[in-house]
Amino acid sequence: MASNAKSTPTRRRLPDWFRTSLPTGEQQAVFNTTKSAVKDNKLHTVCEEARCPNIHDCWASGDATFMIAGQECTRGCRFCAVGTIKRPPPLDPDEPTHLAQAVASMGLRHAVITVVNRDDLPDSGADHYKRCIAAVHASSPEVTLELLCSDLAGDHDALAHLLDQSPLSVFAHNVECVPRLDKTVRDARASFSQSLEILREAKRLRPDIVTKSSLMVGVGETDEEIDEALEMLRDASVDLVTIGQYLAPSAQHLTVDRFPEPERYDAWADLAISLGFSGVASGPLVRSSYKAGLLVRKTLDPDNEETMPGAYVRVTHPQNGPPTPLKTDEP
């Protein structure tokens, strides 16, 4: 007799290499300080909102990725744990000040600022992002700044305003998945091609700023498609790339398709460097902002001997900044 019960997708068991440890002693104290700074300044972090598996590791090191422009996103990508809302509340005019105070109080060397999509705003939030970056730089000029930006709905004018005279060291935007999987993984308003053009234009506008992107694996792609995506990113003059394993935030999110062995990430790192990326972090637990400051420092400083546990890191050290693009774009 047939059963009427609905079947639910079976959640894959995590391989042994996903085991992490909680901070203790001095690291626990640093974790608590970081958590307090975030709470006291009424800030949101992607570490919490996206349920990042590295939150204890990063916060125990005094690193945090701040999320601005709201706690919920106007898009609904199938992989993301951040909430979705059609009509977000107005931007907080005090957010730049609160963000600057938090960064100053934490003694950071490198700060990552990420954003939710704000498709409800004419400039997708670009001016607000610019003011947040300026406020942090004014209070902590010694801190290198990285913006993990949205695609700004493909608006190059908004991007130009954002980057004009910006003190950013790194402009990052994630393509997330290989082109074939756009409709499966991402919101309908996002695409690999649109993301790629934002990255390409950012480098054209500000060749002095390091550009960065990230790929998830385990959402239905093949190894060969990751190889091809890396080639396309480098063709767009992207300098840094991170590659990490997708983990489903809940049973309602996109199901994990596979868990590549750690050695596969080593091969992708080798390929990235051979293509001309100036730096790559590749490993199962790597996320786009994981140890972001360390990756930048190792990329720009040939004498840097810091390590990144749990990730395969390769860097090159060009004499005059990031490596020459595979193809040179004319202004």
Q: Provide, rounded to the nearest whole percent, the portion of the chain with pLDDT above 90.
A: 56
pLDDT tier for residue 32 given thresholds of 50, 70 and 90? low
- Is the pTM of the predicted complex or chain greater than 0.85? no
User: What are 73-92's pLDDT values in tens digits?
Assistant: 999 999 888 888 989 999 99
pLDDT tier for residue 293 given thresholds of 50, 70 and 90? confident
318 pLDDT more than 50:
no
Q: Does a structural domain hold residue 324? A: no
Q: Does a structural domain hold residue 115? A: yes
pLDDT of amino acid 45: 54
Q: Does a structural domain hold residue 11? A: no
277 pLDDT more than 90:
yes
Most confident of 79-83, 215-219, 288-292: 215-219
At 109, which CATH number? 3.20.20.70
Domain that holds residue 264: 24-315
Q: Does a structural domain hold residue 110? A: yes
Q: Does a structural domain hold residue 5? A: no
Mean pLDDT, the chain, integer: 82
User: What are 42-78's pLDDT values in tens digits?
Assistant: 555 555 544 555 555 555 455 667 889 998 999 999 9
Q: Does a structural domain hold residue 226? A: yes
Q: Does a structural domain hold residue 263? A: yes
Most confident of 34-48, 103-117, 153-167: 153-167
pLDDT of amino acid 6: 43
For 301, phi and psi rounded to 5 degrees?
Answer: -120, 105
Which of 26 and 86 is assigned the larger pLDDT? 86
Tell me which of 26-35, 274-283, 300-309 is least confident: 26-35
For 93-149, give the DSSP string.
TTHHHHHHHHHHHHT-SEEEEEE---TTSTTTTHHHHHHHHHHHHHH-TTSEEEEE-
pLDDT of amino acid 322: 43
pLDDT of amino acid 19: 60
pLDDT tier for residue 304 given thresholds of 50, 70 and 90? confident
DSSP-derived letter for residue 292 is H
Domains held by the chain: number: 1
Q: Does a structural domain hold residue 326? A: no
183 pLDDT more than 50:
yes
